[in-house]
Structure 1
Amino acid sequence: MNEIRTDRLVLRRAVAADLPAVHAFMSSPSAMRYWSTPPHESMAVTAPWFQAQFFSGDPGRDEWIIELDGRAVGNIGIWNMPEFGFILHPDVWGRGVATEAARAFVDHAFGAHPIDGITADVDPRNLASLRLLGRLGFAETGRAERTFHVAGEWCDSVYLKLSRPA
Structure 2
Amino acid sequence: MTRELVTARLVLRRPKPGDVDDLHQVFSSPEAMRWWSTTPHETMEKTAEWLDGMIAADPELSDDFVIEAQGRVIGKAGFWRLPEIGYILHPDYWGQGLATEALTAVIDHILATRTVERVTADVDPDNAASIRLLRRLGFEQTGAASRTWRVGGVWMDSLYFGLDRDRWKSLKTP
Q: Please classify the TM superposition score into its range, dividing by the shorter chain length.
A: over 0.9
Give the letter aligned to residue 134 of structure 1.
R
Determine helix, strand or coil for the equivalent of 1:111. Answer: helix
Partner of 2:123: 122
- Listed as ranges, the matches of 1:30-69 within 5 Å are 30-69=31-70
Give the letter aligned to residue 31 of structure 2.
S
Structure 1 segments (4+ residues) deviating >4 Å = none
- Bigger fraction of residues in helix: 2
TM-score normalized by the length of structure 2: 0.92
Q: For 2:16 and 2:148, how far apart are their aligned partners in 1?
A: 32
TM-score normalized by the length of structure 1: 0.96
Q: For 2:108 and 2:13, how far apart are their aligned partners in 1?
A: 15
Q: For 2:49 and 2:57, how far apart are their aligned partners in 1?
A: 10
Determine helix, strand or coil for the equivalent of 2:61. Answer: coil
Note the alpha carbon deviations across 1:38-81, whole angstroms, 9 max, x for none: 00110121111111112333421111011111110010110111
Residue 132 of structure 1, CA deviation: 0.4
**Structure 1: gaps (5+ residues):** none
- Listed as ranges, the matches of 1:147-166 within 5 Å are 147-165=148-166
- Listed as ranges, the matches of 1:14-163 within 5 Å are 14-163=15-164
Determine helix, strand or coil for the equivalent of 1:33. Answer: helix
Determine helix, strand or coil for the equivalent of 2:120. Answer: strand
Is the CA contact 2:17–2:48 (under 8 Å) kept in the aligned structure 1? no
Aligned identity (percent) is 49
Q: For 1:54 and 1:86, how far apart are their aligned partners in 2?
A: 16
Note the alpha carbon deviations across 1:110-156, whole angstroms, 9 max, x for none: 01111111000000111101000001110000000111111122110
Q: For 1:31 and 1:57, how far apart are their aligned partners in 2?
A: 26
Q: Which is further off, 64-73 or 46-55?
A: 46-55
Determine helix, strand or coil for the equivalent of 2:32. Answer: coil
Is the CA contact 2:139–2:161 (under 8 Å) kept in the aligned structure 1? yes
Give the letter aligned to residue 32 of structure 1.
M
Determine helix, strand or coil for the equivalent of 1:32. Answer: helix
**Structure 2: gaps (5+ residues):** 170-174
Give the letter aligned to residue 76 of structure 2.
N
Note the alpha carbon deviations across 1:90-115, whole angstroms, 9 max, x for none: 11011111011111111001011111
